[in-house]
Structure 1
Amino acid sequence: MKFYIEEHKGNSTDKSRIEIVERKGLGHPDYMADSIAEAFSRNLSKYYIEHFGTILHHNVDKLEIVGGNVDVEFGGGKFLKPMVMFFSGRATTKVGDKVIPLAEIAEQSAKNFIKENYRFVNPDDKKQIIFMIETKSSSTDLVGVYEGKDALSSGKILANDTSVGIGYAPLTITERTIKELEMYLNSKKFKEKYPYSGEDVKIMGTRIDKKLDLTIAMGFVSKFVDSETGYWKYKGKIMEEIRKFVESKISDSEISLNEKGIDLGENGSKGIYLNTADVRKNREGKGNIYLTLTGISAEQGDDGAVGRGNRVNGIIPFQRPLSMEAVAGKNPVNHIGKLYNVMAFRIADKIYSELHTQIRQVEVKLLSQIGISITEPYIACASIIPADNAKVSDLEGRIKKIFEGELTNEKFENLRKEFVEGKIEVC
């Protein structure tokens, strides 16, 4: 293993002039695709363990949601064409004479997730959603790497790919605020207070210097909205709630909402904007509001796919290094695209936690080589922005020790168990 510990000469992200962060929320089609692919992998792993004593090879990270079509009106509406959930990917389909019920596991994984998270989608109603399961048997060469033992690795688990995992710490105030805001808007408490708010929430945050602007998209549920007047009234209430929440999160920081932000009237002002494409009806009866039947945009032509949404820390941070790997649905045993992306964030968090008085920011990169032990990355790199009173050269020994303590069989085994138990967020 080659360790590289370097000093990063630029500003930390929280000190950069511009910061742009996005979060796709619970009801966004990309979030749905990631979550259901991961649920499929998790339940498949449990089935393999129960029946064969181990997790067999699978990568079910190819899942797409094709949007449906609805007729929405104040007070309700109906489906005209169902959403389609398409499963592909690869998995072990048979052991000896025993056939694994892939289609049943895939469909039930999706139905359970939908029932737990979307109040107005009925996964048992084929008028709303249908499932197409085309997951096939695994690639022979990848199964060989998955099951293989190599003299260099002393029987350790071998990397399935040559790939990179990336993580960093700490989150900025902007990143934390955007993530926590979406989670609040989709919390049980919020939905009980504002039942007309849909689950499909997307937030784009922009910080310029110390001023923050948030643009939020949220579908409103038609059964609770009886008129256009009602829609605009409810929208105003939610914008007030968003402003209060955000101000409570940033009140002790240097950041504030942009009081001089553009004034979009009923669509928002002073840093908080909601459904900015909305237009009141004119004399000709033409207008536009974000009204949905189910609270999710996949009902009406908005598609989703695994890997297009949030990174493993729950956001899409455009000022940070990003891995393009999809984590959801990959096997938790030796798929580097899954393991190293989570492990890189854990190592970064540990480095920052132990050295936060001496560093401002840390970025971690782990590079694998296919067929080599996952505990022995080809490169393990930490890029450090030190505090004013510190030198990176003085920290190298402690940072290397953290890498060595985390890149062990025991830590990867624990990581695998956490994936199977559903304790790790993937989006």
Structure 2
Amino acid sequence: MLSIQRDALSVEDLPYELVERKGVGHPDTMCDAIAERMSRYYSLHCLGEFGAIAHHWFDKVTLYGGGADIDYGRGELTSPYRVAYFGKAAFRVGSAEIPVEELMFRAAADVLAEVTTGFDPGRHLVVESGVVDHRGSGRGASRYQPATTADLVPLRAPGLVSNDTNLLHGHAPLSRLENAVLGLERLVNGAAFKERHPDSGWDVKVFGSRRGEAFSLVVNMPFLAAHITSMDHYLARKAVIQAELEEAVGRLGIGDLRMLMNATDRNGRPYLTALGSVADTGDVGVVGRGNRVNGLITPMRPMSIEAPAGKNPLDHTGKIYNVLAARLARQVHEEFGGPAQVHVFTSKEAPLERPDEVVVTSPRADEDALAALVDKAVAATGDLTAEFVETGITLW
């Protein structure tokens, strides 16, 4: 059922706005990425071996960080990262085993190597499994204990129904503050920036506020301890990077800007890590505690509380409709102009192409054209599943 609301207001019209982003090296974001990478590796293995995908979910990943020896000119991990997976999956199809623990290690190792500097999986990673294949309520044994490949689900399978009851949201366009917060983290953790500033760490958190036309940004970015020789050196390097970040925000047309970088050093403590994340020194990460699918934490906007990373891409609407809502909001804005919001509700066992309710808030949308756009989007859930598996979709 499609409902249209016309009273769309822009967040830019609000007198006050708050936005946050946890960077790719933050332990919570690491867990999102590891969970989703595991789902993808598992799905690809099943497709390669069996031509279809076994049911699974790995959306309860936790990371508890290691220990490190850190001082000026020195940063070394002394205790490994520990990644624990919790969820459900098939361990075999008939007598053919699925190498679940091997895939777990590879997923965690690949992600952590991408979002730290100097990570060595052989020395720096321990993986623990809490994944089971127990039968769920109302489910047959074939769901997590498939006897043959006929019990698996091919890509773009017709007739699938929702695995859960979910409520998802999306909005577009991003505000100036949202673009600034998202853009800064992506800048700092981009390849070109790391080449210019190899002493910069990955655990970047950006918090932004706007009061009227006055913008305030707090940026936390660790430096790699091995590259920093003294407090004076640290402060000099921080000043260079802060100036570059302020210039980048200025290019977005934001003139009234106040930026605070690495607030902890106001107490005389430099922000240094061994590999670029506070996970180096025991901090803990959990799936779902960070960014939403648009890459931001936006308390002034409707926000889905679902944790999509690691969920089954075949039929878990907490994952599929999360991306659908975000993309559909962007399409509505681009097609009709003005601010747009999309809210999707589905009950368990509802057909994937027929969610219970889709509510679109748009001040200008033509009703017939909007209905066609929504129908096309929800009819293409199989394409979303294929994209999750074949190329991957960033959910954080």
Once residues 139 and 118 of structure 1 are traced to their aligned partners in structure 2, the CA distance between those partners, rounded to angstroms, is 38
Q: Single out whichever of 24-33 and 138-147 deviates more from structure 2.
A: 138-147
SS of alignment partner, residue 256 of structure 1: coil
Q: Is the 8 A contact 1:57 1:143 kept in 2?
A: no
Q: Where does residue 53 of structure 1 map in the other structure?
A: 51
SS of alignment partner, residue 264 of structure 2: coil
Q: Where does residue 256 of structure 2 map in the other structure?
A: 257
- Alignment coverage as a number of residue pairs: 384
Report the CA distance shift for 1:231/1:58 in structure 2 as closer, same or farther (over 3 A). same
Q: Where does residue 105 of structure 1 map in the other structure?
A: 103
Q: Where does residue 262 of structure 1 map in the other structure?
A: none
Q: Is the 8 A contact 2:75 2:275 kept in 1?
A: no
Q: List gaps (5 residues or longer) in structure 2.
A: 144-149, 152-156
> Which runs of structure 2 are paired with 1:20-31 in the superposition (5 Å)?
20-31=18-29
What is the CA-CA distance between 1:155 and the residue it aligns to? 5.7
Q: Single out whichever of 67-76 and 133-142 deviates more from structure 2.
A: 133-142
Once residues 186 and 257 of structure 1 are traced to their aligned partners in structure 2, the CA distance between those partners, rounded to angstroms, is 25
What is the CA-CA distance between 1:328 and the residue it aligns to? 0.5
Q: Where does residue 380 of structure 1 map in the other structure?
A: 358
Q: Where does residue 277 of structure 1 map in the other structure?
A: 264
Q: Is the 8 A contact 1:92 1:138 kept in 2?
A: no
Residue-by-residue CA offset, 1:302-356 (whole Å, 9 max, x unaligned): 1101111110111111111111110100011100110011011121111111101
What is the CA-CA distance between 1:142 and the residue it aligns to? 7.0
What is the CA-CA distance between 1:236 and the residue it aligns to? 0.7
The amino acid of 2:211's aligned partner reads: I
Report the CA distance shift for 1:13/1:139 in structure 2 as closer, same or farther (over 3 A). farther
Once residues 138 and 338 of structure 1 are traced to their aligned partners in structure 2, the CA distance between those partners, rounded to angstroms, is 22
Residue 198 of structure 1 pairs with residue 201 of structure 2: yes
Q: Where does residue 137 of structure 1 map in the other structure?
A: 133
What is the CA-CA distance between 1:82 and the residue it aligns to? 2.4
Once residues 197 and 342 of structure 2 are traced to their aligned partners in structure 1, the CA distance between those partners, rounded to angstroms, is 41
Once residues 162 and 122 of structure 1 are traced to their aligned partners in structure 2, the CA distance between those partners, rounded to angstroms, is 40
Residue 328 of structure 1 pairs with residue 306 of structure 2: no
Q: Where does residue 418 of structure 1 map in the other structure?
A: 387
Q: Is the 8 A contact 2:75 2:224 kept in 1?
A: no
Q: Is the 8 A contact 1:58 1:138 kept in 2?
A: no
Once residues 107 and 302 of structure 1 are traced to their aligned partners in structure 2, the CA distance between those partners, rounded to angstroms, is 20
Report the CA distance shift for 1:139/1:20 in structure 2 as closer, same or farther (over 3 A). farther
SS of alignment partner, residue 194 of structure 2: helix
What is the CA-CA distance between 1:104 and the residue it aligns to? 0.2
Q: List gaps (5 residues or longer) in structure 1.
A: 149-153, 259-270, 281-286
SS of alignment partner, residue 341 of structure 1: helix
Q: Where does residue 172 of structure 2 map in the other structure?
A: 169
Q: Where does residue 79 of structure 1 map in the other structure?
A: 77
What is the CA-CA distance between 1:143 and the residue it aligns to? 5.2
The amino acid of 2:368's aligned partner reads: G
- Please give the TM-score of this superposition, normalised by the length of structure 2: 0.93
Once residues 169 and 138 of structure 1 are traced to their aligned partners in structure 2, the CA distance between those partners, rounded to angstroms, is 40
Q: Is the 8 A contact 1:57 1:138 kept in 2?
A: no
Residue-by-residue CA offset, 1:251-294 (whole Å, 9 max, x unaligned): 2xxx4333xxxxxxxxxxxx1110112136xxxxxx31111111
Once residues 76 and 48 of structure 2 are traced to their aligned partners in structure 1, the CA distance between those partners, rounded to angstroms, is 41
Once residues 117 and 288 of structure 1 are traced to their aligned partners in structure 2, the CA distance between those partners, rounded to angstroms, is 24
Q: Where does residue 295 of structure 1 map in the other structure?
A: 276
Report the CA distance shift for 1:142/1:226 in structure 2 as closer, same or farther (over 3 A). farther
- Which residue among 349, 371, 377 is the counterpart of 1:371? 349
What is the CA-CA distance between 1:405 and the residue it aligns to? 1.5
> Which runs of structure 2 are paired with 1:115-130 in the superposition (5 Å)?
115-125=113-123, 128-130=124-126
SS of alignment partner, residue 118 of structure 2: coil
The amino acid of 1:206's aligned partner reads: S
Residue-by-residue CA offset, 1:22-71 (whole Å, 9 max, x unaligned): 11111000110000110000000001111111111001111001122222
Q: Is the 8 A contact 2:20 2:297 kept in 1?
A: yes
Once residues 375 and 58 of structure 2 are traced to their aligned partners in structure 1, the CA distance between those partners, rounded to angstroms, is 31
Once residues 174 and 357 of structure 2 are traced to their aligned partners in structure 1, the CA distance between those partners, rounded to angstroms, is 24
Report the CA distance shift for 1:143/1:195 in structure 2 as closer, same or farther (over 3 A). farther
Residue 159 of structure 1 pairs with residue 162 of structure 2: yes
Once residues 244 and 155 of structure 1 are traced to their aligned partners in structure 2, the CA distance between those partners, rounded to angstroms, is 51
Residue-by-residue CA offset, 1:61-85 (whole Å, 9 max, x unaligned): 1100112222211111333432211
What is the CA-CA distance between 1:138 and the residue it aligns to? 4.8
Once residues 308 and 226 of structure 2 are traced to their aligned partners in structure 1, the CA distance between those partners, rounded to angstroms, is 36
Greater Rg, structure 1 or structure 2?
1
Q: Where does residue 89 of structure 1 map in the other structure?
A: 87
The amino acid of 2:302's aligned partner reads: P
Once residues 108 and 265 of structure 2 are traced to their aligned partners in structure 1, the CA distance between those partners, rounded to angstroms, is 32
Q: Where does residue 339 of structure 2 map in the other structure?
A: 361
Q: Where does residue 154 of structure 2 map in the other structure?
A: none
